[in-house]
Amino acid sequence: MTIRHLKTARSEADRAEDDAKVRSTVEATLADIEARGDAAVRELSEKFDGYAPAAFRLTDGEVEALMNKVSDRDMADIKFAQQQVRNFAQAQRDSMLDIEVETLPGVILGHKNIPVQSVGCYVPGGKFPMVASAHMSVATASVAGVPRIIASTPPFKGEPNPAVIAAMKLGGAHEIYVLGGIQAVGAMALGTETIEPVHMLVGPGNAFVAEAKRQLYGRVGIDLFAGPTETMVIADDTVDGEMCATDLLGQAEHGYNSPAVLVTNSERLARDTLSEIDRLLHILPTADTAGKSWEDYGEVILCDSYDEMLAVANDIASEHVQVMTDRDDWFLEHMHSYGALFLGPRTNVANGDKVIGTNHTLPTKRAGRYTGGLWVGKFLKTHSYQRVTTDEAAAEIGAYCSRLCLLEGFVGHAEQANVRVRRYGGQNVPYGGAAE
């Protein structure tokens, strides 16, 4: 196996050092929010966003006034995109069935899919107003039947962004807050004097938001670790450098630390892509951000074969994987670690980000090795139940249970079974003994 790096990113050691700094900052901030509640939240909002309204929660009148600022065209586009997300989420929900089966005569086992009872949806928006993130979290939670959905987004240029607020409201948010960063996720998870805590946090965010979710996990549920955007392009000579460069920079513009990786078996394509990136960075309005990401986190990996390309891609487990080759379906069949796949040159990651219907809240930092992205099932808890309907079944399963409990030395457990064997099976089982 011969794999060459025509461009490398910052070392893992440097990235780990950055993570450690973020971790320390988040830990102290969450402790402050837990100790001082609303006062800490207000100070943080003033410090980082320059925003200190009378109340962070919007009233129904304020929401309506903001929605009236959205143009008819923008509102129609928001509704179209949201409907695509709802349609796919509903199809996923319909695939999740409650079941009940009789596994033995008189033994009934089942499970029910029950919505999480309260969810806090974080919608990023400090640098760019992430309208689509409201569809992905709020609308999907609504399809799942979550009875209390609260949504929070930072102010954009010092005030609530009308389009983001409209998307939250249309998506089904019951409470809307204009609050960003660690203070938002901390307040939703820990609760304050004015914000009732939720059972689960969802939504993407920057490194600080992702780390806050990680530290809060256990106190509340989370969807997944969705940190700074990552993208990978897997390509061969069926596409050109302009296409690959556009797809890499299109995601690199998210932030200064958004990894973008080209994996190819074509040196010509690799070098053409590098040239195109240089050209596009001279005309892209967000080049300051995208260029910094590409400089520090961009990679070009040249492989000898498709098998090598597959192995590299599965090892990196990128959040977004754009596949443009002569065997896209082969990659679909064999890839096992990623956030979402975008197959063929006719689609792209931005489609998934904004409109096509699949969810854009996806695993980062190699979490795709053990989890998929946000979907309607994340908002549902599968709970089992059992019942025994006949005396015969109670005695039969009880006798097995009695003996198996004593095999492990659990006499108290065995007696739970024995008392039923005695009552429903008519056996005189000695206390602490094994049923026959």
Q: Which positions are annotated as active-site residues?
A: 319-320
Strand 221-222 relative to strand 200-202, pairing: parallel
254 is in an annotated binding site: yes
User: Is 347 annotated to bind ligand?
Assistant: no
- Is residue 251 a known part of a binding site? yes
What 8-state DSSP symbol labels residue 177? E
408 is in an annotated binding site: yes
Contact 401, 429 (CB under 8 A): no
Q: Does 229 carry a binding-site annotation?
A: yes
- Provide long-range contacts, Cβ within 8 A and 24+ apart, for 387-394: 387/108, 388/106, 388/107, 388/108, 389/106, 389/107, 389/108, 390/105, 390/106, 391/424, 391/425, 392/105, 392/106, 392/424, 392/425, 393/104, 393/105, 393/106, 393/107, 394/106, 394/420, 394/421, 394/424, 394/425
Q: How far apart are the C-alpha atoms of 110 and 45, rounded to whole Å?
A: 47
Give the separation between CA 312 and CA 2, rounded to whole angstroms: 11
62 annotated among ligand-binding-site residues? no
Residue pair 171/139 in contact (Cβ under 8 Å)? The answer is yes
Crossing angle for the helix pair 162-171 and 72-94, to the nearest 10 degrees:
30
Q: Which residue has the tokens 């990552």?
A: 230
CA distance 49 to 356: 32
> In the block, which residue shows the tokens 């950055």?
18
**Position of tokens 């590098």?**
274
Residues 356 and 132 sit within 8 Å (Cβ to Cβ): no
Pairing of strands 231-235, 320-324: parallel
Q: Residue 101 and residue 94: Cα distance in Å, rounded?
A: 19
Calculated CA dihedral for residues 234, 237, 242, 244, nearest 10 degrees: 0
| Closest by Cα among 364, 39, 353, 25 to 193 | 39
Residues 6+ apart with CB under 8 A from 389: 106, 107, 108
Spatial separation of the C-alpha atoms in residues 413 and 9, rounded to whole Å: 57
Runs of H (alpha helix) within 56-107: 60-67, 72-94
Total residues found in the chain within this entry:
436
265 among the known binding-site residues? no
Is residue 206 marked as binding?
A: yes
Task: Detail the residues annotated as belonging to a binding site for Zn(2+).
Answer: 251, 254, 353, 413
Task: Detail the residues annotated as belonging to a binding site.
Answer: 122, 183, 206, 229, 251, 254, 320, 353, 408, 413
Task: Detail the residues annotated as belonging to a binding site for substrate.
Answer: 229, 251, 254, 320, 353, 408, 413
